[in-house]
Amino acid sequence: MRVRAQIAMVMNLDKCIGCHTCSVTCKNVWTNRQGAEYMWWNNVETRPGPGYPRQWENQDKYNGGWALSGGKLVLRVELKKSYKPPGLDDYYHPWTYDYEVLFSETQAEQQPVARPISLVTNEPVDVKYGPNWNDDLAGTEYILEDVNMSETERAVYTQFKDVFMMYLPRICNHCLNPSCLAACPRKAIYKREEDGIVLVDQTRCRGYRYCVAACPYKKVYYNWKTGKSEKCIFCYPRVEAGQPTVCSLTCVGKIRYMGVLLYDADKVLDVAAEPDPKRLVRRFADEVLLDPYDPNVVAAAREAGIPDDWIAAARRSPVYKMVKVWKVAFPLHPEFRTLPMVFYVPPLSPVVTTYENAYGAKITDIMPKVSELRIPIQYLANMFTAGDTALVEQALKKLLAVRIYERAKNVAEPGLAEKAKAALQEAGLSEADAEEMYRLFAIARFEDRFVIPTNPKRYTNQPQVQRGVVGLP
């Protein structure tokens, strides 16, 4: 067992309102400069839809991530012998407007117009696409470009009453098995041992863009001004000081949680090479991610030089509880085999109104019908569990059970308390679990959502930091 620690994130999609505040604040802090106009280290996509860049999930088009060849992990770009980084048409051509003409144009009968000008060539450009071009348009033809939709589901967009919509915020996943790192011939991309953050060494990068092609999430960008690759840095200067990322801090819906996960580095490649993609998520949570309360794990972590305050933080981590304990948060497209360390709690549909209107049912009668919710379970499974609908269905049942339990505490309805207990039992939760889940998902304070220890310079092979101060066994 080779224990490592990583700062990880969970996003609760049930609370995302699609306001893009996270994207704007990230843009203002990190990519508000020439050459990075089209870079959105954090972006929020309307789903169903093509995403950003367009159809980034379609690996038949981009050849990103890993594939299995002869039972071994191979970069898909090498297996296919084709590197296909997205072009500006897949993102959008960054532009501004010729505002000067509004002031300098001579008097005429027609009102002067500020036309779009390319920020790359300074020539007039015809604007045809943008980073949020299909914002809130999940019921239009854009649904046809979503690779997670089945042929049957693609036909849904013609029937407005059946249209569903959700928001998907995305950042770099700072994976345990990053394909961008493996693809870089310059070894310019590296994964920090102390906290797992994946970074690009700008002094080594030569802008070959192999990393852009190999990343299946298309979260590495090419700076056309500097000729180097850039990506989300997980706000590491803030994280080192024990502060959350800018996108997490400014999130209006408070959907983001950050904390420490301990993992077994010796298991990463073995699990990533799991032949059955549907087993990836289960093995990832059960075998790679470790229990910080296990004495053997604690001993191995200390031997690896992980400080006691990091182990204590792993025990209090909301990410650990959601991913490992309750199993309600999943990685995005685990079939890409990069083992992402950003997880998502799948969204519930508009539950109460939908079922009271359609079935005349109360919320307590929904549990057997969770597979019939407005957002198709298969669609969510295609995104978060490599098609394993059972995992998604169980997670949604747990979220619903907590709602029923809390409703029973505040609504005087005959038999509601008994139904609440039955819902918890069916979801596999105790009352203590329900109370803690409600606290974290609904009323969590800042210190509950962000459990981030300060970062020592490098803890491996260093003297133990604060040994015994936190009182660990």
pLDDT digits (tens, 9 = 90+) for 436-468: 999 999 999 999 999 999 876 654 443 333 333
Mean pLDDT throughout 318-340? 98
For 15, 46, 115, 334, 434, the CA distances from 412, given in Å and listed in that order, are: 27, 38, 62, 43, 19
- pLDDT for 142 equals 82
- pLDDT for 100 equals 85
Mean pLDDT throughout 209-238? 96
- The secondary structure element, H or E, covering residue 259 is strand 256-264
Burial 312-324 (b: 16+ CB within 10 A, else e): bbbbebbbbbbbb
Q: At 428, list the tokens.
A: 């596999």
Burial 162-193 (b: 16+ CB within 10 A, else e): eebbbbbbbbbbbbbbbbbbbbbebebbebbb
Cα 143 from Cα 227, distance rounded (Å): 34
Map out the domains of the chain with their CATH numbers. 11-93+129-248 (3.30.70.20), 250-449 (3.30.70.20)
Cα 34 from Cα 72, distance rounded (Å): 41
Mean pLDDT throughout 188-209? 95
- pLDDT tens digit sequence for 245-272: 999 999 999 999 999 999 999 999 999 9
Mean pLDDT throughout 281-287? 97
Alpha carbon 219 to chain centroid distance?
11
Is pLDDT larger for residue 229 or for residue 134? Answer: 229
- pLDDT for 464 equals 36
Mean pLDDT of all residues in the chain?
88
Cα 175 from Cα 154, distance rounded (Å): 31
Whether the pLDDT of residue 470 is over 60: the answer is: no
8 A C-beta contact, residue 453 and residue 242: yes
8 A C-beta contact, residue 289 and residue 314: no
pTM of the model: 0.91
Q: At 83, list the tokens.
A: 């590197």
Mean pLDDT throughout 50-73? 94
- pLDDT for 468 equals 32
